[in-house]
A and B are shown apart, each in its own frame.
Chain A
Amino acid sequence: MLSFQRMIARWRAHSNHTPLSPTLINCWHDSPKLKKALWKQFDFLVVDTETSSLHPQDGELLSIGWVVIRQGSIQLNSSRHLMIRPSQSVGDSATIHQLRDCELNEGITEAEMMTQLIDAAQGKILVFHHASLDLRFLNAACQRCLGGPLLLPTLDTLQIEKQRLERRNQPIVQNALRLGSCRARYNLPIYPAHNALVDALATAELLIAQFSHQWTKEDKK
C-alpha cells in the first residue's frame, strides 16, 4: 500500500517537474516494517502537532512535539518541541492551543521543522493519536518543502484502541477514544493542559501500554 502510494508520488513529481527531495527518498528506503510481537526491537517517533484550524486549507502548523521510543522505553532526552513561525496571526485559535503570536514569531520556518522531523523519523515508525488530523497538515507541509507527501509507516493509537474496544464488543461512547479516556483504561496518570510535546509523550505512554497489553507475552517468572 505504502509502496504503491510512493510510486504515485514519484510519478506525480516527475510529471510536474518538481523533483522529490533526496532526504525524503532516503527516509522512505529506511522505513521499517513493524512486526507487532517484536515491537520492542523497533524504534518509534511519537508525534503530536498543534494547528490553527482543523483543515490545511485555512490553517497551518503552529508547533510540533515528538519523543522517541527505543527498546520499549521512552527516551525523554529525545524529546523535542518546535514552534513554527506562522504566515498569519493565529487569532482566536490561541484559546485552544495556548500559543500566542509573540511566542510563535520566535519559531523556525516550516522547512526547517520538516528537515528536523525527517531526520528524527529516519528508520522509525511514526505514531500519532488520531493520525489523520496531524498527517493532513504534515503531508501538506512535506509536499511544499520536500516535493511529496510524508508516506512513512504510521501507527494510530486511536485506531488501535478503537479496534480493541470493537474486538471486545464494548460500545464506544462519546469521548471514549480521546487521549485522556484511552489512557485511563491503562492506569496511566492524568496530565495537565496540553502542548504538543506533552501530548506526544502521553501518546507514547499509551502506545507502550497498548503494546504491553496486546502484544507482549508476560513471562511470569
Chain B
Amino acid sequence: METTAANMLSPELKNVGDFLAECIPFEQLDQKELYQVAAMMEVEYFRSGHVFKSDDDAGGLRILRSGAAELHSSDDRLIDRFGETISFNLMGLGQEQPGIRAVLIEDALIYRLPEDAYQQLRQRHREFDRFFHSQRSRRVRRAARRETNPSELMKSLRDLMSPQILWVLPATSIQATAHAMTERRFSSALVMDQSPELGGKLLGIITDRDIRSRAVARGISFDTRVEHIMSKDPLRIAAEGTLFDATLMMTQSTVHHLPVIDNGQVVGMITSSDLMLARRDDPVFLVQHIRRQSRTEDLKSISSALPDLLVQWVHAGVRAPQIANVLTAISDAITQQLIKLAEAELGPAPVPFCWLGFGSQGRGEQLLGGDQDNALLIADHLSPSDANWFKALAKKVCDGLNDCGYDYCPGDIMATNDQWRLTLTDWKATVNRWMRSPTADAVMRVSIFFDIRAIHGDASLCSELQKHMLQKTRGNSIFLAALAENVLERSPPLGIFRRFVVEHTGEHEDQLNLKKRAVIPIVDIVRIHALAQGIPEVNTLARLQALAQTKTMTIGDSRNLQDALRVIQQTRLEGQVQELKNSLPPSNYLNPEHLPKLVRKQLRDAFSVVVDAQKIVKLHYRPGL
C-alpha cells in the first residue's frame, strides 16, 4: 500500500502513536500501520455523565485516552467499567446486546477511529478482528454471569456425556431391546437405521419408562417391533451445549435422556443422572458433604481435593471474591464439623461458647494455603474444671484443622494457646489493655483480632465482644494514629515512573509478593476507616460499601479500592492456579514480566489506587506527624 505524507501521522505526534502502541490490540500492528491508523483518529472530549447510545451513534472505535466509562445494558445493569487505553465499538456491542450504552463516569478525552476505517482495519487483520469479537462476547458473558452462579453450569456437554451408545434397529423386538438394556445397564436405547459410526440416522428413543408404560402396562406382545413404542424423532442437543442448556431442556420438556449430536451424528448420551453427578464439584454440594463426615480422615480427603477444585472453578470463570467466599465457607464447614466431632467425644459443652475466626477467615477472604487464626470465647462464670473441657476441644479442633491442610498459626494465634481461650470478661479486659497502651504489639493484635467472626456456637457472645471493640476504637484518635503508622508501613510495590518494585535477591528474585505488598495494605487501609467509624462489617468489600453508604468515603474512592482489590486478588488467584497446574504449592509471588500487558496495566492502576488511599489515611489519622 502506497503511503503519502498526508495519510501518515506527523512524526511530531509520536506521543499519539506511542499511546496507541500501549492499547490492546493496537500493539499488534507494526509501526508504519500504527501511524497510519493514528493519523485517521479524531479526538473528542466529553464531560462526565455523557451517554453514548448504540442506536444513534456515529459509530467507530472509541479509545479512552483519559477518563473512565461504564457500559450499561438496556435494563440498566452494569456490564463493564474501564479506563485509559480501553476501547469500545458501540455499534458492534449494540448488535450483540440491543440498547447497550456507554456512560462516562469521568471527563474523558477520546480517540475515535471512524467506522469505515475501523472496519477496514478489522478486515485486514484477523488478530485485530478476533480481539474485538472475543471482547464483545466476553463482556456479554460477564453480564450474564452476574445473574446465575456460573461454576459448573457452563461446563461443556462434550466432557459430561457418556460416549457409549446403545442402539437397536427399528425391527428389533421389545424383549431383545430390554435384554440389551439390562445387560449393558442402560436406562435407554436409541433406535437407528444403522450404526452411528456409519452415519446412522436417529429414528427414535426408547426408555425404561416407555417399556413399562407403553408395552407392559398395555399388555403388548414382547415380540412387537420396538419402533411401535419408541418416541419418534426425539429431542437432541448439540455437543457444544453446556450443562445449563441440557438442564434447561430437560426441565422444560420433562425428558431424562438426550442424545448428543455433533455434525449431525449421534456422539453420545446425556441423562438426568449425569447432570446430578456433574454437580458433585458444586460448592453447595461440597459443604453439605462435609457435614456428613464422621471422621477427620474423611474431612482431610475432601480438603485435599480443594486445589483441583480451585483450578476448575477459576477455569469456569468464578471470580476471586466468590472463590474466597466458597473457600471460607468450606473451612468454616470443616471447623464446625471438627467441633461437632469433638463434642461427640467430649460430651456437651459445660457453658455456652463461641469459636472465633480471625484474619482472612474472619473476613471471608480465604484462598488456599492460609494458616489458622482462631480463638475461643467462653461465657462468664467458667469453673476451673470446666476449663479443661475447652482446652481439650481446642486441641482436637486445631489438630484436625492442621491435618486438613490449615497449618498451625506460626504466631500461635489459636484456641490452643491459653492466652486466646478466654471468657467474655477477660476478652474485654484484653481489648482494654491494647487500647490503653497502643504498643507495636497491641497494634498488631488489633489488626488481627478485630477482623472477628463467629464460626460456631453462640454468636451473640461474639457480637457482644465486637461491640465492645468498636466502642473502644470509634473516634479514638490516639489509638487510630498508632494504627495508621502500621498501615503506612507497607506500601505497594510501585516505584517512581510507576515501575514495579520487585525483590532483588533470594528465592523470589524479580517477583512481587501480592499478598504482603498489595492485599494486606488495602485490608489495613479499609480496616482503619471501619474501626474509626465503628462499622461492624469485617469483609473488606462489605466494609468499603458501608464506608461509602455512611459517606465516610466518596463513592468513587470506595469503588476504586473495591476494583483494585478485585484485580489484585484475581491476579493472585490466577497465579496460584498456574502454580497448581505446574504441581507447585500455591504462593503469593509472581513475576510481573510474565503477566499479559493488560493485567500489568491493571495491576499498576490498582497499586496507584492503594498509594492514593494510603495518603488519605496519613492525612486523616496522622495529620502533622
Decide: B43 and A73 in contact? CB cutoff 8 A: yes
Residues of B within 8 A of A76 (CB): 9, 13, 16, 38-43
With a cutoff of 8 Å between Cβ atoms, the chain B residues found around residue A117 in the complex are: none
Residues of B within 8 A of A77 (CB): 6-7, 39-40
B44 touches A186 (CB 8 A): no
Interface residues of A in 45-83 (CB under 8 A from B): 65, 72-77, 79-81
Whether B108 is near chain A, meaning CB under 8 Å from some CB there, is: yes
Report the minimal beta-carbon distance from B545 to chain A, rounded to whole angstroms: 26
| CA of A212 to CA of B109, assembled, Å | 11
Complex-state Cα separation, A209 to B43, whole angstroms: 11
B560 at the interface (CB under 8 A from A): no
Contacting pair B51 A187 (CB below 8 A): no
- Residues of chain B within 8 A of A221, CB atoms compared: 51, 53, 101
B588 contacts the other chain (CB 8 A): no
B49 part of interface (Cβ distance < 8 Å): yes
Q: Using a CB-CB cutoff of 8 Å, which residues 4-28 of chain B contact chain A?
A: 6-7, 9-10, 12-13, 15-16
Nearest CB in chain A: distance from B612 CB, A: 15
Q: Which of B40, B106, B112 contacts A187 (CB 8 A)?
A: B106
Contacts of A73 in B (CB 8 A): 42-44, 112
Q: How large is the interface on A (under 10, 10 to 19, 20 to 34, 35 or more residues)?
A: 20 to 34
Given A79-B13, A81-B12, A209-B107 in contact, is the A74-B42 Cβ separation under 8 Å? yes
Q: Decide yes or no: A209 and B45 within 8 Å by CB, A73-B112, A77-B6 being known contacts.
A: yes
- Per-position 1/0 for B40-67, Cβ under 8 A of A: 1111111101110100000000000111
Question: B-side binding surface: helix, strand, loop or mixed?
Answer: mixed
| Cβ-based interface call for A35 (8 A) | no
Q: How far is the CA of A75 from the CA of B41 in the complex (A)?
A: 7
Query: How close is B357's CB to chain A, nearest CB, in angstroms?
Result: 43
Is there a chain B Cβ closer than 8 Å to A167's Cβ? no
Q: Taking CB as reference atom, which chain A residue is nearest B40?
A: A77
**Given A79-B13, A81-B10, A218-B50, do A189 and B42 touch, yes or no (CB 8 Å)?**
no
Output the least CB separation between B222 and chain A (Å): 71
Cα distance A65–B12 in the bound complex, in angstroms: 9
In the complex, whether A197 has a CB less than 8 A from a CB of chain B is yes
| 9 cross-chain pairs, A with B, having the tightest CB-CB distances, nearest first | A74-B43, A197-B12, A73-B42, A187-B107, A208-B45, A81-B12, A189-B66, A73-B44, A209-B45
Pairwise interchain contact A187-B13, C-beta atoms closer than 8 A: no
Q: Does chain B have a CB within 8 A of A154?
A: no
CB distance from A175 to the nearest CB of B (A): 21
Q: Is the interface of A mostly helix, strand, loop or mixed?
A: mixed
Q: How far is the CB of B247 from chain A (nearest CB, A)?
A: 39
27 A-B interface contacts by CB (under 8 A): A72-B44, A73-B43, A74-B44, A75-B42, A76-B9, A76-B13, A76-B16, A76-B39, A76-B41, A77-B6, A77-B40, A79-B9, A79-B10, A81-B12, A189-B66, A189-B109, A195-B12, A197-B12, A197-B13, A198-B12, A198-B15, A205-B109, A216-B47, A220-B49, A220-B51, A221-B51, A221-B53
A76 to B41, CA, bound (A): 6
Q: How far is the CA of A197 from the CA of B14 in the complex (A)?
A: 10
A219 to B489, alpha carbons, bound, how many Å? Answer: 47
Q: What CA separation (Å) do A213 and B47 show in the bound complex?
A: 7
Measured between beta carbons, the chain B residues less than 8 angstroms from A186 are 45, 107
Rounded to whole Å, the gap between the CB of A139 and the closest CB of chain B is 24
B45 CB contacts on chain A under 8 angstroms: 186, 188, 205, 208-209, 212
Is A24 close to B, CB under 8 A? Answer: no
- Min Cβ gap A185→B in Å is 10
Contacts of A209 in B (CB 8 A): 45, 107, 109
Residue in B10, B44, B101 whose CB lies within 8 Å of A208: B44
**Bound Cα distance from A220 to B46, whole angstroms:** 12
A169–chain B nearest beta-carbon distance, Å: 22
